[in-house]
Amino acid sequence: MSSQPTETQAPTRRRKPRPAGTLYRGDITGLWSWVLHRITGVAIFFFLLVHILDTALVRISPAAYDAVIGTYKTPIMGLGEVALVGAIAYHAFNGLRIILVDFWQWGTTHQRLLSWIVIALWVITMAGFVPRHLISVFTGQ
Amino acid sequence: MSVTIENPRSPYTRPRVGGLNIEKWGWIYMRVSGVVLVVLIFGHLFVNLMLGTGVHQIDFAFVGGKWSDPFWQWWDTIMLWLAMIHGANGMRTIVNDYVRKVQVARVLKVALFASAAILIILGTLVAFTFDPCPAGAPADLVASFCPVS
Ligand code: HEM
Ligand code: HEM
């Protein structure tokens, strides 16, 4: 009896409160793009540490360098390179978006559009890169 | 005795201590280096992975061809410095965000600084002391312009 709704309370649909006026909403223009930017940045950093060491083998001997760089041409590593280039392309385009939003008023008021442009540029880059790279990995051309 | 009270509506001004604001310059560096790195890294990936026979062309002779030209030595060295400092500084931000223990954070930051410094020096030396035609190397492994020994 005590838990009955009283007549004066109109039934309303419950809504999740949304914070107003923050950049970081839980959609692709906010939090997820930030998480992805962070993960790709860390991944590229660790690749770069190894990559400088493998390149340094040119100072040991031609045979040593060729042996290690040869592993870049195997199918498994070939797929890893697709992931690496995907990470770089995302970090680069999204980084440019961050810079535009920071320095350019128009960018701040058109964040959604800019995020879609980032996704579109990423898709175009990968559409150009992936077939070409897989042909090189699997047929050597 | 009269006390002056600051106007409560006056905007907050940060107390300035030193002259140089390191964090601000770090923030600017991330953006300036990022713009340059887009060109350098995309160029690097395009020449090495898209042109010619892609990843299959890469071997000692290929590097010999590129690094006998100062253009590519400088390209790679600038890319090395910018990317390494950008990446290490970004990792420092992440350590600041997640590592609560001051001692652990300090150890990680020293490790980041040390690895970045060592790899920058190593990579710069490698690019500029590189010999495309090392004495006694088998002719089929080095660039075609090397004199046959
Ligand atoms: C391709 C060109 C690149 C662009 C345009 C770019 C852009 C940016 C920008 C603008 C930031 C700062 C984000 C912020 O302050 O909120 C950033 C952070 C970062 N970048 Fe890059 N970057 C590039 C390449 C790289 C490379 C090569 C590495 C690794 C060696 C890297 C690793 C990182 C890391 C670890 C962070 C910190 C992420 C965070 O705090 O969440 N970036 N990048
Ligand atoms: C799968 C992708 C990659 C391949 C196959 C590759 C291949 C190579 C090769 C063959 C070299 C020797 C010199 C030259 O060709 O210019 C080199 C050097 C270098 N690469 Fe990459 N690279 C890749 C990705 C990257 C990425 C993503 C970065 C930046 C974050 C990078 C940064 C560098 C640097 C700084 C050097 C110079 C190292 C030194 O001076 O010792 N590379 N790379």
What pLDDT shows up at residue A1?
Answer: 46
Distance from CA of B5 to the nearest CA of A (A): 33
Q: Assess A104–B contact: CB distance below 8 Å, yes or no.
A: no
DSSP SS3 for A81:
helix
Give me the torsion for CA of A76, A77, A83, A84, rounded to 10°: 170
What pLDDT shows up at residue A28?
Answer: 56
Helix, strand, coil: what percent of chain A each, to 5? 75, 0, 25
Q: The pTM is what?
A: 0.86
DSSP state of A12: -
SS3 of A92-138: the string is HHHHHHHHHHHHCHHHHHCHHHHHHHHHHHHHHHHHHHHHHHHHHHH
**Cα–Cα distance, B93 to B13 (Å, whole number):** 25
**Cα–Cα distance, A111 to A97 (Å, whole number):** 8
CA distances from B134 to A53, A75, B90, B127, B130 (A): 19, 31, 38, 14, 9
Show Cβ contacts of residue A133 under 8 Å, excluding neighbours closer than 6 positions.
A78, A81, A82, A85, B49, B54, B55
Structure-token pair, residue A83: 């992931």
Q: What is the pLDDT of residues B84-94, one digit of tens each?
A: 999 999 999 99
Tell if the CB–CB gap between B126 and A78 is shorter than 8 Å. no
**Cα–Cα distance, A114 to A104 (Å, whole number):** 12
Give the fold, CATH level 3, of B22-129.
3 helical TM bundles of succinate and fumarate reductases (1.20.1300)
pLDDT (tens, 9 = 90+) of chain A, 141 residues, equals 455 555 566 666 666 665 555 554 555 566 788 999 999 999 999 999 999 999 999 999 999 999 999 999 999 999 999 999 999 999 999 999 999 999 988 888 888 899 999 999 999 999 999 999 999 999 877
Angle separating helix axes A75-103 and A31-56, nearest 10 degrees: 130
**Cα–Cα distance, A135 to A141 (Å, whole number):** 6
Candidate from A44, A62, A95 with C-beta closest to B60? A62
Structure-token pair, residue A84: 């690496």
| B55 touches ligand 2 (CB under 6 Å) | yes
Domain ranges of chain B: 22-129
Q: Averaged in consecutive runs of 10 residues, what is the pLDDT profile of chain B (149 residues)?
A: 75 72 92 97 97 93 94 98 98 94 95 97 96 86 82
Say if CB A66 and CB B141 are below 8 A apart: yes
Say if CB B67 and CB B58 are below 8 A apart: no
Please count the residue pairs, one from chain A and one from chain B, whose beta carbons lie less than 8 angstroms apart: 112
Compute the C-alpha angle B90/B91/B97, nearest 5°.
95
Q: Assess A74–B contact: CB distance below 8 Å, yes or no.
A: no
Tokens 């590129």 sit on residue? B66
Tell if the CB–CB gap between A66 and B83 is shorter than 8 Å. no
